[in-house]
Amino acid sequence: MRPVFIARTSLRAMWFSLMLVFYAACSSAHISTPTVENVASSNTAATQPAAPTGLPSAILPSTPTMISMLATATQTSTVTELTGLIAYVDDRPAGNKEIYIMQADGSRQTNLTNNLAEDQGPAWSLDGTRIAFTSLRDGTPDLYVMNADGSNVQRLTSGWRIYRTPTWSPDGNRIAFQGSVQDNSDIYVFDLKTMEITRLTTDPAIDGDSNFSPDGNQIAFASNRNGGSSEFDIFVMNADGSGLRRLTDTAGADYEPAWSPDGMVIAYTCSPPHGEVICLMKPDGSDKVQLIDTEDNILDGADPAWSPNGTWLAFTSTREGASAIFAITVDGSKTIRLTALSFEIGRYQPAWQPQLGP
C-alpha cells in the first residue's frame, strides 16, 4: 500500500518535489504555455487587510500532546449533529483516485467521477451546486468543474500542472489553485466569466494550498519561501495578490489553511515535535491552539474542512491505523470516524458542502 500522507516534514517536502517532477513529466513539451496576467509584482506596495476580531482568547497547550479546548471558536455556540454532504478522495490499490460524496454521517458513499485517470482535490462552490477538482484524464493535471451529482464535467485549463485542492471565491466567479508553469509552483486565479487566468505569486519557492476567505477579499496559502524546503508557513494576501502577510513562523510545516464560515478562525495542519495535527488561529496569526493531540510518528490530523455552521471539522487521519475521514467538534470534545478503516483504500481530502438555501 502506498502511503497517503507523510508524517515527517522532510518527507513531505520530498513529496512536493516528486509531485512537481511527476506532473512535469505528464505535460507534453509541445503544449504552449498559457497566457496569464501577472499581478504579483505589486505585492509589497499594497495596504495590508485588516484582520477580523472576535475569537476568544486561548492559551497555547503546555505540551504537544495536550488538546486545547476552544469551545467558542466560532460565533456558533451550540454543536449540532452532522448534516449535509462531504466530498472526498477515494484511493484504490491500483492508484485510481476517484471523487466520492457521502452524507456527513458517513453513509451513502457515491462515486462521482468514475474515470480511469486520477481525480482529486474536490472543492465546493459556495452555493453547493458545483465541485471543482483536478484530474489527469486528458493527459495533464488540469482544472475541472462538475455538478454536485457528477454530471456536466467541464475542463477549464489545458496543458497546466495543477496540484492539490482548488478553492472557490464566495461569489462563484473565480477559482484559485496551485499551478505550475515552467516548473515553478505559484497561486493562480481562474475567472469563470472571462476565462482568463491571473498569476498572484511569483516567488521561486513552493506556494500552494490556497483558500479564499468567506468575504472573498483574502486568500490564505502555504509557502516555504522563508525557510528550508520542508519549512512551510501560512501566509495571507489580498485576493488580487497584494498585501502579503506571514501568519506562522515555525521550524516545522504549517499548511492546508481553511477559513471558518464566519471568517473568525483559520484551521490548518501543523507539525509539533511529533506527527501532524490540526491547529487553529485568528486570521491575524494570533492565539494559535492545537486541536488534536498526537503520538510519536502518527499522522493524527490533516486536510481540515469546516462544517457549514462552523461547529465541526472534518479531517483525515491514520490515528486508527489506516487513512480514514473523521469529524471533530471545534472544542475537541467529540470525535467520530466517518469512513471504514481499510489498509487497501485510502480516503482523504474531505470537503464539506456549504449550507444550501436560507
Confidence of residue 6 (pLDDT cuts 50, 70, 90): very low
- What local confidence, expressed as pLDDT, does residue 68 receive? 37
185 near 204, Cβ under 8 Å?
Answer: no
pLDDT at 59 over 60: no
- What local confidence, expressed as pLDDT, does residue 294 receive? 59
Confidence of residue 62 (pLDDT cuts 50, 70, 90): very low
Higher-confidence residue of 357 and 115: namely: 115
What is the pLDDT of the chain when averaged over all its residues? 78
d(CA 355, CA 357): 7
pLDDT at 41 over 80: no
pLDDT tens for residues 248-294? Answer: 998 889 999 999 999 999 999 998 776 788 999 999 999 998 887 65
pLDDT at 36 over 60: no
- What local confidence, expressed as pLDDT, does residue 150 receive? 97
Higher-confidence residue of 43 and 66: namely: 43
Highest mean pLDDT among 16-30, 232-246, 341-355: 232-246
% pLDDT > 90, the chain? 53
**269 Cβ neighbours under 8 A, 6+ residues apart:** 253, 254, 255, 256, 276, 277, 278, 279, 301, 302, 303, 304
pLDDT tens for residues 319-332? Answer: 888 899 999 998 88
Confidence of residue 170 (pLDDT cuts 50, 70, 90): very high
pLDDT tens for residues 85-104? Answer: 999 999 876 668 999 999 99
Q: Pairing relation of β-strands 233-238 and 324-329?
A: unpaired
| C-alpha cell of residue 264 | 473568525
Confidence of residue 55 (pLDDT cuts 50, 70, 90): very low
- What local confidence, expressed as pLDDT, does residue 247 receive? 97
d(CA 110, CA 139): 25
- What local confidence, expressed as pLDDT, does residue 8 receive? 32
Domains of the chain: 9-352 (2.120.10.30)
d(CA 115, CA 118): 7
d(CA 107, CA 250): 38
316 near 323, Cβ under 8 Å?
Answer: yes
Q: What is the pTM of this model?
A: 0.81
As a whole number, mean pLDDT of residues 342-350 equals 89
